[in-house]
Every structure is written in structure tokens, then in C-alpha cells.
Chains A and B, each alone.
Chain A
């Protein structure tokens, strides 16, 4: 990966006595999709709004596209696009007028129609914003963020409130963005979103980064024991000693350090006795399992 698009060192932010962000380090490479994960109130939005230049910071170093957002906010706004959590656009303008209006703020905007198409609003281009569904308005938000053809995009919980198919669509949009070389800084509390989109994730909890890495290997997820689960058919002989670990619903479960060998032993035993296991399943801990562990299952509060 190339140069750093974002570099943060020792970032702190206090609101009065409350320390919302407690000295975090993170970086995002150019062309990367980086996801900041965390429950509500963990400091995600505070962090991203500092990077966007909306908030001042209490301490630490922040570089976005090589500039300090606290000093060069206007310059930076020419080069990044923003999707914020709760913002609005004028309800009485149409989709196309809205994009035209925003395009005019940039030196080299993307063609309005292309942007509208990219987010799948072509059919709604002459519809007033007030007549769009929630998901469509969110897509319009993304289109606005893309209007200036930015190198870097901030997406703050871009799919909150979407129905499942709208989320899939939004994900495709983000994938399209990375295909055209954009860097994306994403915040989300959806694990599947991070898993699907991000090259790298950081988990923030109570203002601190508690883990950071590619979603597949986050917090040693790839090295955790695999879990093998199965049920015995009715009338099957009892299991050998090593396989006995019944769980609540009548299934058996075992943790395997070497799942290849364990499975071989297990299925060998079954084949010898002409038994077919029911609901045989081998899983690794999901990103969500890791996340719940890292954030202590803390309830969001915001």
C-alpha cells in the first residue's frame, strides 16, 4: 500500500470532565477501506469529526492527506467527501439540482449524472428530496460526498437504518469506490459490514482502540480454536470418550486445535459405524464474537 491518507497519534478529546477519546493511534493507507468499529458512545463519531475538521481536539497529532484538519479545514474539504450521521439537504430541491449545487463547490467535480447513477438514483433524478425514502436519502448523501470527486471519503455509519437489500446496495457502492481508487474511512457498528468492506478494522471501546488489524485476523481470530458441532442420530451408539461434550440442545460440541485431524477422527468413527452426523458444522469465531469479547458486550448509549 502507498502513502498514508490518515495518520493519528495520541488523539485525545475531552468534553468538560468527560474524556471521549483517550489517546488513540491509527492510520489509513491510500486506497484502503478502513473501518472504525465500536458501540454507540465509544468515540467513533468524535474521532471522525475531528478528522473532518468539525471538532477541535484536546491533544495529539492528526494528519489527513498530509494536512492538519484543525488548520487547513477549507483546503481539505476540497479533497475529501463526507457522509455524516445526521445531516440534511434542502427538501425542496430535486436529486439532480442537489448534486449540481454541491458539484459547483469543487474545482473538478464528477459529472452529476454519473454520480447519481453510481448510487443508483438515476430513476429519481428529478424527484424532490422530500419524496425520497430514508435509504434513498442516504444514497443521496453518498452522492453528495462523491460530487467533488474526492480522493478520500468519510462514511459515518452509512447504512444505519437501511433494510437488508439497501445495505447490500450501499456496500456495492463502496466497493465500486475502492475499484476507482478511493480511500474510505468507515465507521460502523455492523460486523458484517466491516467484514465485507474493510481491509483493516480498529475496534474502539470507551475511547480507546482495543484491537486493530484485518477483519480475518483481528485479535488473533484466525488462531482461535475452531468449534465443531454435530448431533447424533437417534439410536446411535454412544460416543467415544474424546467426543463427549453435549450442549443444551442435544448437540455435541468440541474445540479443536487441529480441526483437520479432529474431524478425521470424528468422521472416521462415524463412518465405521455407518452413522451420519446431523447438522455437522465447523466454525471459526466470527468477527462479532471477537468484537463482543473486546468491547465486553457493552451496551451502546448515545
Chain B
């Protein structure tokens, strides 16, 4: 079998196992929706300004875009990194490593599964936003760019997820380290809080350097009609590629001693 077919086969088994842990699967899906509800409720149904534009957009639609970005990041970065670390520490990865399954096929399978979960989450967020907040849904060329954004984002964050497992010493530390690496960026990158017209210079700088805001901005383009820039996707892809290269070098298939 080719690596691609082996990877797809692996998706099937990963998916089976995923849904048989209803608590984990349930919360994965509950998180973005819960945040969408909370943020929209607390921060009201007013309007917010997108940095670098003169556009005023409804707060609720803003959060549909943000939570779509958050969904992909949760599934492809946070969950993937934590889950792979747990599997590593449980010796599951070492066992797989003792078979002829190419390591790339296994990891690709995991990434594809995370992407599917992320996309499903985005669809749910968008549908919920449409029904509850009358958010606009991307169509036509915007939809195509949106799809590319999703895929580049999912792959990019998955690459980073595999990379960060290398510095996670054990499964117990995984949630703390992974969340520490992503939560501040979620706050500084227009995911949780709109930055307003003139964000502080250092906040703007953080947004430009790290991949999260580039992803959020690309998602906003799909939902809010803000300008879409391919450069955002290039930055995302570069981060993902960097992550993959680091993972290729430092990823561990065995528990760290």
C-alpha cells in the first residue's frame, strides 16, 4: 500500500478511537461554541473595528470568524499536541514504530484526522453563527480562498503541534506547556478580544511575527469582507514548514526519560 492509502486507513482507526472517548470528543466540540456564546453575550452585539481598516463589523460575526480560527487551532494544535504526547508516553507510538508502517503515514493520518475535526468544528461554528447571529457565510471565490486558508492553517498548526511535543517532557506536563504556548497568542491575535483600530505597537508586532493573527486575519476575510492577503497564508505555511522540519529532527516516538 502506498503511504497515502496507509495514512487514510490510519484516519479511520484514529477516528473510531476519537469518538469512543465521548468526554474528550464532546469538550473538543463544546469549547469553540461555548466561547462563541460567551464572548458574544458578554461583549454585546455591538460593532468592532478591524485594525488597519476602516471597517466596522458586527461583534457576533467577528466572533464567528475568530472561533472558526480557534476551532482549527484547538483541533490541529492544542489537541493534536496533547494527544500525541499522551500516546507517546503510553508507548503507543513506540509500538507503531516497531511495525513497517512508515512514520510519515502514521503522522499524516493523525494530521488529516485533526484537520477533519477542525473543519467540522468550523462548519458548526459558522452554522451556529448564521442561525443565531445572522453571520454572513463565505460563498464563491471567497469560499475557495476560505477553504485554502483552512487547509494551510490546519497543516501549519499541525506541523507546530508535532514540533512542540519535542519539548514536552511528559504527558502530565503536556496540557500546561501546550496551553502556555498558545493562550497568550490567542489573546494577542484577535481571537478572543478585538484589538480595535490602533492596537499597541508590541501587540501588533507579536501579531505580525507569530502565525495566529495571520490566520485570524485570513479567516476574517472570509466572514467579514476584510481584504484577503496571500502573504498571511505564506507566513502560516512558513511556520508550519518550520515546525515540520523541527519535528522531523526532534520528534520522539518513545517516552522521554
- Taking beta carbons and an 8 Å cutoff, which residues of A are in contact with B? 52, 54, 74, 77-78, 82, 84, 86-93, 97, 101-102, 104-106, 128, 144, 148
Contact = CB atoms under 8 A, between A and B. Distances in A.
B92 interface: yes
A14 B108 CA distance: 34
Contacts of A54: 94, 97-98, 254
Given A74-B102, A77-B100, A104-B1, A89 B95 contact: yes
Contacts of A104: 1, 6, 9
A68 to B, nearest CB: 17
Contacts of B94: 54, 84, 87
Contacts, number: 63
Interface string B1-35: 10000100110010011101100000000000000
B6 A87 contact: no
A137 to B, nearest CB: 11
Residue from the set B10, B18, B97, B100 with the largest chain A CB neighbour count within 10 Å: B100
B99 interface: yes
B98 A92 contact: no
Contacts of B227: none
B21 A84 contact: no
Contacts of A148: 99-100
Contacts of B102: 74
User: What range describes how many residues of B lie at the interface?
Assistant: 20 to 34
A104 B18 CA distance: 20
Residue from the set A78, A93, A97, A101 with the largest chain B CB neighbour count within 10 Å: A101
B90 interface: yes
Interface of B: 1, 6, 9-10, 13, 16-18, 20-21, 87, 90-92, 94-95, 97-102, 254
Contact of A105 (B18, B20, B99): B99
B91 A87 contact: yes
Given A90-B13, A93-B16, A84 B92 contact: no
A164 to B, nearest CB: 26
A105 B18 CA distance: 21
Contacts of B99: 77, 102, 105-106, 148
B91 A90 contact: no
A97 to B, nearest CB: 7
A105 B100 contact: yes
B22 to A, nearest CB: 10
Nearest to B95: A87
16 contacts: A77-B100, A82-B95, A84-B95, A84-B98, A86-B91, A88-B90, A92-B16, A92-B18, A92-B21, A93-B13, A93-B16, A93-B17, A93-B20, A97-B13, A97-B16, A128-B20
A219 B21 CA distance: 54
Residue from the set B13, B20, B98, B100 with the largest chain A CB neighbour count within 10 Å: B98
Given A54-B97, A90-B92, 19 more contacts: A52-B98, A87-B94, A87-B98, A88-B91, A88-B92, A89-B92, A89-B95, A91-B17, A92-B16, A92-B18, A97-B13, A97-B16, A105-B6, A105-B99, A105-B101, A106-B99, A128-B20, A144-B95, A148-B100
A101 B100 contact: no
Nearest to B98: A82
A106 B9 CA distance: 13
Contacts of B10: 101
A88 B18 CA distance: 16
A128 B20 CA distance: 10
Residue from the set A78, A86, A128 with the largest chain B CB neighbour count within 10 Å: A86
A88 B95 contact: yes
Nearest to A81: B98
A104 B8 CA distance: 12
Nearest to A76: B100
B252 to A, nearest CB: 12
A84 B91 contact: yes
A29 B24 CA distance: 48
B101 A87 contact: no
Contacts of A82: 95, 98
Contacts of B98: 52, 54, 77, 82, 84, 87
B256 to A, nearest CB: 14
A79 to B, nearest CB: 9
A78 B1 CA distance: 13
A112 to B, nearest CB: 13
A86 B257 CA distance: 13
Contacts of B101: 105
